C-alpha cells in the first residue's frame, strides 16, 4: 500500500473538524478512528483510504504519521489542540482536537467519506479511550510484535479462521527469526 500523506492530512483534518464534541476525541480515539477507517476501507473497498502505516502500541494500533500531521495542521491554523487536566495523577493531561477552517473533501470518494463518518461516530459515540483500545486488541494486534507495523492483509487472514494462541506464538517466533 502506498502512503498518501496529503490524503492522510485531509483525513485527520476532516475527522477533527467533523467531530461535534471535542471532549469525545482524544489522541487515542483519533488513532483508532484512522485505523478503523483504513482497515474497513481495505476490507470493503479493497484499498485503505490513506495507506498509513499503523504499528502495534500498548493501546492498540497507532498511526506513525499522526503527530507530524497534527503539528502541520496546527502551524496552518487548521487545528487547535486543547490540553485537558485529568485526574489520573500528577500533571497528566488528555489532548482534545478541534478542527478549524474548510476541509478538503475532494480527497475522498462518497464511499470513503461514509466509512470515515461511521468510524468516527462508532469510536466517539460508543467508546471511551480505554474501551476502544481494548476492542482493538484483537487477533491482528496480538500477532504483531510491539512497535511493529501491522499489515492490512492481516485483517483478511483474521477473518478466515479462528486464530489460536498457538497460531499467534508461531507467527511471533517466525517474525523473530526474520528480524535476526
| Joined grid coordinates for residue 138 | 484483537
pLDDT of residue 61: 92
Length reported for the chain: 180
Residue 162 above 80 pLDDT? no
Task: Give, for 27, the enclosing helix (H) or strand (E).
Answer: helix 27-45
Contact 34, 53 (CB under 8 A): no
pLDDT of residue 90: 65
Q: Coil, strand, or helix at residue 86? A: coil
- Between the alpha carbon of residue 28 and those of residues 71, 106, 110, 156, 166, the distances in Å are 16, 26, 26, 24, 30
- Predicted TM-score (pTM) of this structure: 0.84
Give residue-wise pLDDT tens across range 129-151: 888 988 887 777 777 889 999 98
Those residues whose C-beta lies under 8 Å from the C-beta of residue 132, and which sit 6 or more positions away, are 28, 29, 32, 60, 123
pLDDT of residue 104: 93
Residue 105 above 90 pLDDT? yes
Residue 159 above 60 pLDDT? no
Mean pLDDT lowest among 37-41, 108-112, 144-148: 144-148
Amino acid at each position: 500500500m502506498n502512503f498518501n500523506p496529503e490524503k492522510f492530512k485531509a483525513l485527520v483534518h476532516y475527522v477533527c473538524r467533523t467531530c461535534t464534541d471535542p471532549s469525545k476525541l482524544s489522541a487515542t480515539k483519533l488513532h483508532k478512528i484512522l485505523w478503523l477507517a483504513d482497515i474497513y476501507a481495505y476490507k470493503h473497498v479493497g484499498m485503505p483510504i490513506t495507506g498509513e502505516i499503523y504499528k502495534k502500541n500498548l493501546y492498540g494500533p497507532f498511526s506513525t504519521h499522526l503527530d507530524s500531521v497534527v503539528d502541520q495542521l496546527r502551524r496552518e491554523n487548521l487545528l487547535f489542540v486543547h490540553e485537558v487536566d485529568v485526574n489520573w495523577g500528577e500533571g497528566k493531561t488528555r489532548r482534545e482536537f478541534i478542527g478549524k477552517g474548510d476541509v478538503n473533501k475532494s480527497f475522498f470518494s462518497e464511499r470513503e467519506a461514509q466509512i470515515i463518518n461511521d468510524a468516527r461516530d462508532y469510536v466517539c459515540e460508543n467508546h471511551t479511550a480505554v474501551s476502544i483500545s481494548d476492542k482493538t486488541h484483537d487477533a491482528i494486534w496480538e500477532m504483531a510484535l510491539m512497535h511493529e507495523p501491522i499489515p492490512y492483509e492481516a485483517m483478511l487472514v483474521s477473518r478466515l479462521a479462528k486464530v489460536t494462541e498457538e497460531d499467534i506464538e508461531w507467527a511471533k517466533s517466525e517474525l523473530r527469526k526474520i528480524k535476526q
